[in-house]
Structure formats: structure tokens, C-alpha cells
Amino acid sequence: MNTITSADVSTPARQRDLLHTLISDHAKAVLAYVERLLNDRHAAEDIVQETLIRAWHHLERLYGTEGSVRGWLLTVARNLVVDRLRSAAHRHETVGAEERDAVRPDDADAVLVRAEVTALLRQLPHEHREVLLHTYLRDKTVQETARILGIPAGTVKSRQYYALNSLRAKVMTEAGVAVR
């Protein structure tokens, strides 16, 4: 795609065209991804809407770089999901509980995803896997994880960062997306 400059997004008509292109090319994929994360269609739609608003505010940067537009959108959406879940956890709420309770035991997709996640986690070094286990699966804070594992909080953050980057690279490689 050609690099887009500030002049290219300066007119409302051009912004509208770029936004329509963005929506038609990526909205369904982002919605499917977010819905998979939340198990809540309405909450997923809210997240996608916020993602697209943020994309609209950053059209020049979004289209003016060599990176993947969809990758940028998925990253923003994932960050919004994490923010939403952390906020709900802080308020001691559960997001999408009704839908999670309604998952059928014969849901082959869910079983497949769990198996893939387990296989990916097993590929991580023990120290990284241990940090993700506490911070994501057991919903512990960085400080709680540090105390449990007997390591500094900065080490927890570092291991979490490298573990997530490693997982992201593996998933993107398996999906056939070039990883920088």
C-alpha cells in the first residue's frame, strides 16, 4: 500500500473513504477475534467500535507505516479487552459470564483452542510459563506473582513481556504472517 501523508487524510471525504476501507477490510476479523476473547458479542462490538475510532484518529500513522494495519487493529483491540477485563476484575465482576456458562462440552473449536494454547505454553521456558500462569490464569498481580515466585517485580514484568512476545511470534508465524 502507498504511504499516506497528512495531506491524504486532511479532507473529510478522504478520511471517510479510508475509514470505510478500514471497516470493510478488517472489522469482521477484528470482531471475530474480540468475540473469541470475551465470549460476549455486545461487548465485542463495543471494543471493535472503540478500536475503529482510535484507528480513525490515527489514520496517517496507521497507513503511513510499513506495519500491518490489521496487526495494529488487533493489538489495539486486545489492549482494550485487557483493560476491560482488568477493570471488571477490579470491580469484582465477570465479563460475559452468561456466555461462558453456556459453552457446550462438544464445542470442538474451544477444545482445539485450549489444546493449541497448551502446546504453545509448553514451548516457553519454565520461568516464562510460570509467570503467565500466575498473572493470566490465576489472575495475580505482578507484585503477588513476584512474592509467590520469590523474584523482583521487574523480573516478573520482563518475563511476561518476553513470554508474550514469543507467543505472539509463534502464533503469527503459524498464521503465515511475517514477523518483524
Q: 104-174 has which CATH code? A: 1.10.10.10
Q: Residues 173, 107, 35, 14: is their CA dihedral positive or negative?
A: positive
Place of cell 475503529: 52
Render pLDDT for 91-145 as a digit per residue (tens, 0 to 9): 665 555 554 444 444 455 566 667 777 777 888 899 999 998 898 888 889 999 9
| pLDDT value, residue 167 | 84
User: Quick check: helix, strand or coil at residue 68?
Assistant: coil
Q: Assign a CATH topology to domain 12-90.
A: Rna Polymerase Sigma Factor; Chain: A (1.10.1740)
Q: With 70 as the cut, is the pLDDT of residue 66 above it?
A: no
Contact 23, 10 (CB under 8 A): no
Contact 154, 161 (CB under 8 A): no
- Which band of pLDDT confidence, cut at 50, 70 and 90, is reported for residue 2? very low
Dist. CA 12–CA 104, nearest whole Å = 47
Dist. CA 97–CA 78, nearest whole Å = 19
Amino acid (1-letter code) at residue 16: R
- Which band of pLDDT confidence, cut at 50, 70 and 90, is reported for residue 47? very high
pTM above 0.75, yes or no: no
| pLDDT value, residue 88 | 64
- Which band of pLDDT confidence, cut at 50, 70 and 90, is reported for residue 175? low
Long-range contacts of 6-14 (CB under 8 A, 24+ apart): 6/60, 8/60, 8/63, 9/59, 9/60, 9/63
User: Quick check: helix, strand or coil at residue 129?
Assistant: helix
Q: In the chain, where does the domain assigned CATH 1.10.10.10 lie?
A: 104-174
First to last CA, the chain: 18
Mean of pLDDT values over 157-161: 93
**CA proximity to 74, closest of 4, 150, 175:** 175
**CA proximity to 29, closest of 90, 74, 81, 67:** 74
Q: In the chain, where does the domain assigned CATH 1.10.1740 lie?
A: 12-90
Render pLDDT for 162-174 as a digit per residue (tens, 0 to 9): 988 888 888 777 7
